[in-house]
Amino acid sequence: MDPGRSPPVQPFPSVADDRAHGLQAVVDSGLMTARMSSQNTARNIGTGSADGVRRHFASDNYAGITPEAWAALAEANQDHEPAYGNDRWTQAAADRIRDLFETPCEVFFVFNGTAANSLALATCCQSYHSVLCHEVAHVEKDECGAPEFFSNGSKLLLLPGDLGKLTPAGIEEAVRRRTDLHYPKPKVVTVTEPTEVGTLYTPQELRAIGAMTKKHGLRFHMDGARFANAVAALGVAPREITWQAGVDVLSFGGTKNGIHVGETVVFFNLELAEEFAYRAKQAGQLCSKMRFMSAPWVGMLRDGVWLRHAAHANAMASLLHELIAPCPGVRVLFPRQVNSVFVDLPKPVIQALWDKGWLFYNFIGEGGCRLMCSWDTREEDVRAFAADLRECAGG
Ligand SMILES: Cc1ncc(COP(=O)(O)O)c(C=O)c1O
């Protein structure tokens, strides 16, 4: 088996299976080319931290729940509350999100990012429409065709763009390329902020894309799985990179920011939100005990907690970049802007790091590694990883 490829995912592999596959079957965000160390018995303990717990760089989904989200969950776990979102927590969370964006938006809670993106896009399209997205977009690469499925066949049209970003010119070219009946009519543009390669659209770039969507009567969706990291890094108000830039609907990520499960779909274009509740219900995305999806948002959106956690993850990635960029054989692939560092490493170095028990993905091209920091990454984890990398690279 190609060491850079993971085997087909087995549902709930046994511990024995897990060992046999050397943890290759780890399922995370559809990044199916991950391969982890076969030394997996040591994978969660190590020399990294004073508490003996090693925090890995594979994904921000590896981290647990933030104390604030956890406390809110515990607080919500009292008495009886109405089901299906008719509870106080859901009302409070939606109100906090409206306050955050400083505009009257409609808010829906769904279980994951794939559902948020697919259902939001389906809302923007008829089946004969197309969605313009970057060629490495999560909706294209890592959602198993869900956007096409939930929109009854709207086609994703893939556009190139440096640093994982679409451009207004690229969008216009795709719209003008064909206008005949035989072409799936472009209807929506989706951008990822921050992008899949850890870069950021500036507010100006987003406004320019927004203007282009308006010029051509397109809708504008944003995949904000790591929206918190973007806002923390850009130092902007959330409104500046969403509705004020022309975004109609946002998939607002909670999981990677430290919530246990769930994202919100935030409609700034209120007409688009009409009947979305039915769409979500039909797709199996209406949580009956909704308060346990919404309460953590209340915990996270109190006193800027969400941004503090995101800023911390970004800062850890910045330190990681600083420590590993000068190591021999390390080539940084994209500018480090949020909580990820993308590097090209020699294959023996990747293997040696896996053998030391570090978990990370090498899914970008040949040897391209994504090192991801999360809200609970500690400086000592970063320093321990960087020291191991230096040693493995002979630096
Ligand atoms: C850019 C992006 N969008 C969306 C998602 C959400 O995907 P999931 O369905 O795994 O929650 C992810 C998760 O990795 C992501 O990286």
> 255 CA distance to ligand 1 centroid (A)?
9
Q: Which residue has the tokens 């899914």?
A: 363
pLDDT of residue 35: 42
pLDDT of residue 365: 60
Report the C-alpha gap between 32 and 25 in whole angstroms.
8
For the whole model, what pTM was predicted? 0.90
**What does the block give as tokens for 175?**
């719209």
- Rg of the chain, C-alpha, whole Å: 21
Q: Which atom of ligand 1 is nearest to the CA of 143?
A: 9
The residue among 305, 253, 320 whose CA lies nearest residue 61 is 253
CATH number, span 67-303: 3.40.640.10
Terminal Cα distance for the chain, rounded:
31
Ligand 1 site, residue 192, Cβ cutoff 6 A: yes
pLDDT of residue 1: 30
> 333 CA distance to ligand 1 centroid (A)?
21
Q: Say if domain 15-65+306-392 classifies as CATH 3.90.1150.10.
A: yes
Q: Which atom of ligand 1 is nearest to the CA of 256?
A: 13
pLDDT along the chain (395 residues), means of 10: 39 38 33 40 51 87 97 97 97 98 98 98 98 96 97 97 97 96 97 97 98 98 98 98 98 98 98 98 98 98 98 98 96 97 95 95 78 97 97 87
> 236 CA distance to ligand 1 centroid (A)?
23
Report the C-alpha gap between 189 and 200 in whole angstroms.
17
> 46 CA distance to ligand 1 centroid (A)?
28
Ligand 1 site, residue 229, Cβ cutoff 6 A: no
> 162 CA distance to ligand 1 centroid (A)?
21
Identify which of 60, 138, 255, 370 to mutate to test ligand 1's pocket (most ligand atoms within 8 A of the CB). Answer: 138
Report the C-alpha gap between 264 and 106 in whole angstroms.
10
Domain positions in the chain? 15-65+306-392, 67-303
